Structure 1
């Protein structure tokens, strides 16, 4: 997934502020999404909940786009030409539809509902994502994970994983990263992470044991979910600081409700994020952009993509300034 905003904000995401609330008294902050088009006037629109002013990171999760359900005939579907990434991993997860992935490792893979593609673009990688001709409805999430300093120039990599379904107390859980409800993903990450789809039956109350060292974010795709003591509507993300060792979710609707649960320990490094690049300084971003625009070997080439590359937007005429998570309340 590319951030195709032509006026992409330059962010210095600060190390997280410690939360001093006592264990056993978790709060839930509700984060609303903003709509962003992926391309031109007919482009598919996505709902972006990370990053934003209220929160820039949840663990190492630094970017969350939630899209659909979109009728491909009306929206044009997903059509992302080759574009670059540095300093991060991309995570693709679909609820419906099918997307073709190509990258400069030579990977050519399809992703379907209930499957995960994870791509590592440490020092530099490029990929394309296009919904297939037989896709009528496209619906899912695209997520980014920032890499820690010691691994931010990691080699390119691609992993595909199909998790088993764990059925727990009226819910179906697919763990694509980390561990939850007795399921563990074998997929490699560079910091401890949790990523799972949770479908909760009508009027079901689900309580899950979680790692108290993690902060968590629950993104609601469908239904109204009461997370601890706060109701989350579709497209909202509920943030819970670290310290909670259980999370209770109640589906308050007459139909199954679908959510994505993200988690990880607070990420203690400052990162600079602009367009599709993550670095540690403004100069890192300038260099990555120059390399992409110059067709540097840093990102490689997708030989068999039928079209051109996505050009980088112009850099802002300013030095990056900090944008930090809010202080503890």
Structure 2
């Protein structure tokens, strides 16, 4: 998934200085962003008050959208470096193409995981004969320094393990939860899970007190640690938790995102994550003029040009504004 905003703003993030060491209940409101011509997303990370949750550094929620008479998602070829992209759907399909030659349709509750490493480009689109509804989330995971220059690769996992309890099914997207581990490749301690609860269900989900956590509302009525979390909203939970109380007022679902607080300070600009202004500027130049990010074949349209860099140098610093 791309950041398609034409005026790209640098996002300094990372570092441990602003990690909340104790449990909190910080409700984050989304910012609405147009993604192409027909898709609007609710951007939860980066947020004015919160930049990261563990290594999770970018979260868009979209839908449910009725796209029966529309093209649906149409994201032209664009570059990435220094991160992983996670495609997660509740309804619809997304056709992924990348500069490695990958061609994969990602369907509901399947994991599409792209590790950019040093450089990759990709496109995402609703297939021509797509389903009526489109509903899901697109997320980024920042790569730690030891892996951010690695070779790019793409993974597709159609079957994922789950943790179950009465009224609760937790599908493991990335990382581990309650002794169950996703097959998706990770490079720092983290977890991503889709939690589906039946109406009137109550559950207590075990957590790692060394992780910081947040919950993204996907559908239905649910209270997380007593706080109502509407679809498209995010509740930041801090660290120091050993369990998470959940109570559903209807059939409901949320995404649990967590991880060890990310120690490195980053610069995130447009679709790049780096450590300095010079690194970001070189990546932009390489996308506009060189072969570094490769070519995406088969997409019907031009690739996405990069925005202009801001007139001041980009500097890495804290996790919150």
- TM class, shorter-length: over 0.9
Which residue number in structure 1 is paired with residue 204 of structure 2? Answer: 207
Instruction: Return the alpha-carbon distance in structure 1 between the equivalents of residues 205 and 58 of structure 2.
Output: 24
Residue number in structure 2 paired with 1:194:
191
Equivalent position to 1:55, from 32, 35, 50: 50
1:87 and 1:122 in contact (8 A); partners too: yes
Aligned-partner SS, 2:24: coil
Tell me by how many angstroms 1:276 deviates.
0.3
Is 1:157 paired with 2:172? Answer: no
- The reply to whether residue 147 of structure 1 matches residue 147 of structure 2 is no
Aligned runs of 1:1-329 on 2, under 5 Å? 1-17=1-17, 26-39=23-36, 42-73=37-68, 76-135=71-130, 136-161=132-157, 162-251=159-248, 253=249, 255-294=250-289, 296-321=290-315, 324-326=318-320
Cα RMSD after superposing both structures: 1.7
TM-score by length of 1: 0.92
Which consecutive unaligned segments of at least 5 residues does structure 2 have?
Answer: none
Deviation for aligned residue 1:200:
0.9
Q: What number of residue pairs does the alignment pair up? A: 319
- Provide closer, same or farther for how the CA distance between residues 326 and 303 of structure 1 changes in structure 2, counting only shifts above 3 A: closer
Contact between 1:28 and 1:227, CA under 8 Å: does it hold in 2? no
Cα distance between partner residues in 2 of 1:66 and 1:4: 15
CA distance in 2, matches of 1:27, 1:53: 17
Q: Secondary structure at the match of 1:80?
A: strand
Deviations 1:105-163 (A, max 9, x none): 11111100010110011110001111112222111000000001111111111111121
Supply the distance in 2 between the matched residues of 1:44 and 1:71 (Cα, whole angstroms): 10
Contact 1:97 1:113 survives alignment (8 Å): yes
CA–CA separation in structure 1 for the residues paired with 2:183 and 2:136: 22
Q: What's the CA shift for 1:193? A: 1.3
Q: Separation in 2 of the partners of 1:75 and 1:265? A: 41
How far apart are the structure 2 equivalents of 1:306 and 1:95?
A: 26
CA distance 1:172–1:48, shift in 2 (3 Å) = same
Label 1:19 to 1:89 Cα distance change in 2 as closer, same or farther (>3 A).
closer
**Runs of 4+, deviation exceeding 6 Å:** none
**Is the contact made by 2:21 and 2:238 (CA closer than 8 Å) also made in structure 1?**
no
Distance across 1 between alignment mates of 2:68 and 2:110:
24
Q: Within 1, Cα distance between the matches of 2:29 and 2:196?
A: 21
Q: Taking structure 2 as the reference length, what is the TM-score of the superposition?
A: 0.94
Retained in 1: the 8 A contact 2:97–2:297?
A: no
Query: Which runs of 5 or more residues in structure 1 are unaligned?
Result: none
User: 2:12·2:317 contact (CA, 8 Å) conserved in 1?
Assistant: yes
8 Å Cα contact 1:17-1:326 kept in structure 2: no
Instruction: Say which SS state the counterpart of residue 316 (structure 1) adopts.
Output: coil
- C-alpha distance in 2, partners of 1:179/1:46? 28
Q: CA deviation at 1:321?
A: 4.9
Deviation digits for residues 217-257 of structure 1 (CA, Å, limit 9, x no counterpart) = 10001123222132222211111112111111111x2x211
Q: Distance in 1 between matches of 2:17 and 2:284?
A: 30
